[in-house]
């Protein structure tokens, strides 16, 4: 066990503070970048299915849904997206965030680490996320459309003012630097996305290595669906990233510490918790409707997850595990599954582009 020096705690606190600083800075950069880019994108002419597909593809690119959420909320605040489009792009980001689990599973399989379990947990994460988020998205938008959340206003002019005092000079300095090399302010948008990824990586490095025997403490009784749900929920809140929380499953599954049946409620818990920190992103933007969008999806996903756990857990578990076994059984089916992950969102975006050209 590595020894801890007297500087360990101060260094960890400093690293965590830096990560949070970069996270808020990235949000402010993306906000300004979106304001510059939104008028030329004409995304408002696309349909909601296209922005859903775009959200999925961006999550693949960033290997995380957090930058996608910030991107969608930035464009919405700048008037570049409608409420429905922002809602579906945010949902797409959540759907695509689980792709990193499949990618890491492939890497473990290449190294000869239990191919069926390593890749299988990635297929499971993607299919289960879709199973929960698609109906959760419909429920959430119904709640948003009904006006039930119209009175919710989780914003603060004081917080916005404090954030502006600290971060506006930094963003303006970056903007001036871009202008000096003849780059538009719109570049702030992808730069901000990259900074969010760096912030998440810094937080990830603060976390101790998760060992299988720690999860096994307490015997099989601690492996109930509610215990695994709580574990996925808490780990996602601590890491501020569903991608990190779900990726933990790959080495645990490869080494046999967690089986795929136990991973089902863990993934459900992670998928609910990830919207809690997305809510914080919306609050930082100080946009009441943006907060309502995230809150509506959070409620929708939470309601669908609770219904599955309380009323149909065994049926859901059998279904997703059967699909998982079918896909992983041979390379042809697995290849078709992976191809569909790319082809479907590309078709969605293509349909939105054609719809925009014809409008």
Query: Does some domain include residue 70?
Result: yes
Number of domains within the chain: 1
Instruction: Write down the pLDDT at residue 222.
Output: 45
Instruction: Write down the pLDDT at residue 351.
Output: 80
Query: Does some domain include residue 326?
Result: yes
Query: Does some domain include residue 358?
Result: no
Query: Does some domain include residue 346?
Result: yes
Query: Does some domain include residue 1?
Result: no
Query: What's the CA gap between 66 and 253, in Å, rounded?
Result: 25
Task: For tokens 């009323």, name the residue.
Answer: 311
Query: Does some domain include residue 180?
Result: yes
Q: Which residue, 203, 232, 174, is CA-closest to 26?
A: 174
Q: What pLDDT, in 10s, does the model give residues 274-306? A: 887 788 777 777 778 888 999 999 999 999 999
pTM: 0.77
Average pLDDT over residues 186-208: 73
Task: Of 125-139, 140-154, 179-193, 332-346, give the lowest mean pLDDT range.
Answer: 179-193
Average pLDDT over residues 316-332: 90
Q: What are phi and psi of 333, to 5 degrees?
A: -65, -40
DSSP three-state, residue 67: helix
Task: For tokens 């756990």, name the residue.
Answer: 309
Q: Which domain holds residue 287?
A: 10-353
Q: Which residue, 298, 282, 352, 285, is CA-closest to 141?
A: 298
Instruction: Write down the pLDDT at residue 211.
Output: 45
Average pLDDT over residues 33-54: 73
pLDDT band at 91 (very low <50, low <70, confident <90, very high): very high
Which tops the pLDDT comparison, 145 or 22?
Answer: 145
Query: What's the CA gap between 39 and 83, in Å, rounded?
Result: 16
Average pLDDT over residues 144-170: 76
Q: What is the mean pLDDT of the chain?
A: 80
Instruction: Write down the pLDDT at residue 221.
Output: 41
pLDDT band at 191 (very low <50, low <70, confident <90, very high): confident
Query: Does some domain include residue 291?
Result: yes
Instruction: Write down the pLDDT at residue 200.
Output: 67
User: What is the dihedral sign for C-alpha 323, 324, 329, 335?
Assistant: positive
């Amino acid at each position: 066990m590595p020894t801890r020096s007297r500087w360990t705690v101060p260094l960890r606190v400093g690293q965590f503070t830096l990560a949070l600083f970069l996270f808020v800075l990235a949000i402010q950069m993306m906000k300004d970048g979106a304001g510059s880019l939104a008028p030329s994108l004409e995304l408002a002419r696309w349909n909601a299915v296209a922005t859903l597909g775009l959200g999925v593809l961006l999550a693949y690119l960033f290997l995380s849904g957090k930058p996608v959420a910030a991107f969608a909320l930035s464009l919405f605040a700048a008037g570049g997206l409608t409420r429905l489009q922002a809602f579906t792009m945010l949902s797409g980001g959540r759907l695509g965030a689980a792709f990193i689990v499949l990618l890491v599973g492939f890497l473990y399989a290449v190294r000869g680490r239990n191919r069926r379990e390593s890749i299988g947990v990635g297929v499971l994460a993607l299919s289960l996320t879709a199973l929960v988020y698609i109906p959760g998205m419909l429920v959430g938008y119904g709640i948003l459309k009904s006006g039930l959340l119209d009175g919710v206003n989780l914003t603060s002019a004081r917080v916005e003012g404090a954030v502006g005092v600290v971060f506006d000079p930094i963003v303006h300095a970056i903007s001036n630097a871009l202008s000096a090399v003849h780059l538009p302010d719109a570049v702030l948008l992808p730069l901000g996305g990259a900074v969010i990824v760096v912030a998440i990586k810094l937080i990830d490095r603060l976390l101790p290595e998760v060992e299988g025997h720690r999860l096994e403490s307490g015997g099989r009784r601690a492996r109930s669906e509610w215990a695994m749900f709580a574990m996925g929920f808490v780990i996602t809140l601590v890491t501020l990233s569903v991608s990190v929380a779900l990726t933990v499953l790959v080495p645990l599954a490869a080494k046999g510490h967690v089986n795929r049946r136990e991973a089902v409620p863990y993934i459900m818990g992670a998928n609910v918790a990830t919207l809690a920190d997305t809510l914080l992103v919306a609050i930082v933007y100080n946009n009441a409707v943006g907060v309502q969008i995230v809150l509506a999806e959070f409620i929708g996903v939470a309601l669908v997850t609770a219904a599955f756990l309380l009323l149909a857990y065994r049926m859901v578990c059998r279904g997703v595990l059967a699909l998982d076994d079918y896909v992983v059984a041979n390379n042809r089916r697995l290849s078709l599954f992976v191809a569909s992950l790319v082809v479907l969102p590309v078709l969605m975006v293509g349909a939105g582009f054609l719809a925009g050209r014809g409008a």
